Amino acid sequence: MADLDFLIDIIKRISELGRKNRNIPLINEVKPFKHYFSDDGKLKYDEIDDDDEGFSRREILARYLLVNVVLDQGPDIIGVRMLLRDVTTNLYEKGIKIFHNPLDFFKELDISINEILTRHKSIKDIRAEEWAMKNNSTEQKYNLFFAQSNRGIVSTKQVLDYSIHRWGVPLSFFLLLEKDYKTKQPLIDYLESWESAEIMAQQLKDHERYGLGSAIGDKACHLFAKMYINIFNLVKNKRDNPGWSGISYEIPFDSNAGRVLFRTGFLLKLATLEDYENWEVIQKGEGKGRANYIRVTNIRGKKTDIISQESENFKDYREIITKYLKIGMKPKSVEIQRIPNFLIYKLNISTNYNYSIADFDDGLIYIGTNYCFNHENPNCDLCPLQNICKAHNEDEELIKKYTT
């Protein structure tokens, strides 16, 4: 099988799994927003622009999703979503309406922090045992509070730092937009002022006035694009623009993505182990138990020669860059983190599947959290990718000697 055929096969299989096993935040379970949804949990799109205390429902949902992705940089996706759901519900019951009136979070900071601490303790009681089992760890290490370090995301015990940096920064962003835009949907208006979802995702972090900076990572920015476009379909004014379609933003590279794509051999078709070591994508001896640590976020900007510039495939890659991502008119090289967009595009134009980055990412999350665990004894025998996985079939060291 040619290299591109192998990669497209993996993309197709993972995207199929993602479409069947959608990973969705628990917004319909947040009591203040339950009336946005029908009894079966479906968003009422015919009411999405209805007024809700001065803002549209679309605006409030987008705010919630942005805070969700900022928080969702810790070790347990389910626990993070439970934390945001429960803290939001409890604060609203106390009249602290942080998504309608972000300043409430700071005015009642003692209550806000107490709720975060209390809910975290109860979620730890529920989630720690399962989390420890899947991560080959101990229940005592379960912690959803995290900070930034030169090694990426690390746990912290300082809840004030965590609360102000991770909750407070996006809430301050909403406040600033309200001051500047003075509309019923300032966040929506700002987001859709950009030509593509990829540009929007980059500006969420890097914009001089509105960028969230170190409070948000590249993965979280792209996770928000996924939620906004594909999962909740909140796009208001860009529906016919390919720059706001399902392949118009990069994949949210996280530890699940890195682990699955490395073990299956996907990443090794794009560069060598030596390349990844030189780029510090693989950091020798820096993982659990002195294993080699895969820091997949370091892949951004790294080049692959799997597509020749003289080939028809390069024209398709250029189409992704110029028409969908809209981040440059004449790419001269191929970047690894944009290969999934290219492969999904190739798959879609030859089939009727119309897969998206969201399908692929949800498939990676499904595999990573149910089979491809972050230790040396993953559940390979039941994994739906086992028959094409390089680690399972050819090189067990890709499991035993590497961790994310």
Strand partners, 402: 292
Q: For the chain, how are helix, strand and coil distributed in percent, rounded to 5?
A: 60, 5, 35
Which residues fall within 8 angstroms of residue 256, CB to CB, at 6 or more apart? 364, 365, 367, 368, 369, 372, 404
pLDDT band of 1, cuts 50, 70, 90: very low
Strand partners, 56: 51
In angstroms, the CA 150 to CA 131 distance is 25
Residue 342's nearest CA partner among 307, 310, 367 is 307
Q: Which residue has the tokens 């090694």?
A: 151
8 Å CB contact between 340 and 229 = no
Residue 330, both tokens = 């004449």
In angstroms, the CA 210 to CA 159 distance is 24
User: 320-330: per-residue pLDDT in tens?
Assistant: 999 999 997 78
Class of residue 83 by CB neighbours under 10 A (exposed 0-12, middle 13-18, buried 19+): buried
* Residue 152, pLDDT score: 58
Residue 361's nearest CA partner among 270, 279, 246 is 246
User: 310-351: per-residue pLDDT in tens?
Assistant: 899 999 999 999 999 999 778 889 999 999 999 999 999 988
Structure-model confidence comparison of residues 279 and 254, the more confident one: 279
User: 44-73: per-residue pLDDT in tens?
Assistant: 999 999 999 999 999 999 999 999 999 987
In angstroms, the CA 121 to CA 108 distance is 20
Helix, strand or coil for residue 304? strand
User: What percentage of the chain exceeds 70 in pLDDT?
Assistant: 98
> How does DSSP assign 338-353, residue by residue?
GHHHHHHHHHHHHSS-
Residue 262's nearest CA partner among 292, 290, 286 is 292
Secondary structure in 3-state letters for 58-117:
HHHHHHHHHHHHHHCCCCCHHHHHHHHHHHHHHHHHCCCCCCCCCHHHHHCHHHHHHHHH
Domains of the chain, by residue range, sit at: 3-15+251-403, 24-237
User: 255-304: per-residue pLDDT in tens?
Assistant: 899 999 999 999 999 999 999 999 999 999 988 888 999 999 899 999 99
Which residues fall within 8 angstroms of residue 50, CB to CB, at 6 or more apart? 56, 57
User: 206-239: per-residue pLDDT in tens?
Assistant: 999 999 999 999 999 999 999 999 999 999 988 8
In angstroms, the CA 265 to CA 180 distance is 48
Residue 324, both tokens = 């969908």
Residue 204, both tokens = 């969420």
Residue 98, both tokens = 């942080």
pLDDT band of 23, cuts 50, 70, 90: confident
User: 137-192: per-residue pLDDT in tens?
Assistant: 899 999 999 876 555 567 788 999 999 999 999 999 999 999 999 899 999 999 99
Q: Establish how many alpha carbons lie within 13 A of residue 319's alpha carbon, considering only the half-sphere containing its beta carbon.
A: 14
Residue 59, both tokens = 């605006």
In angstroms, the CA 374 to CA 233 distance is 32
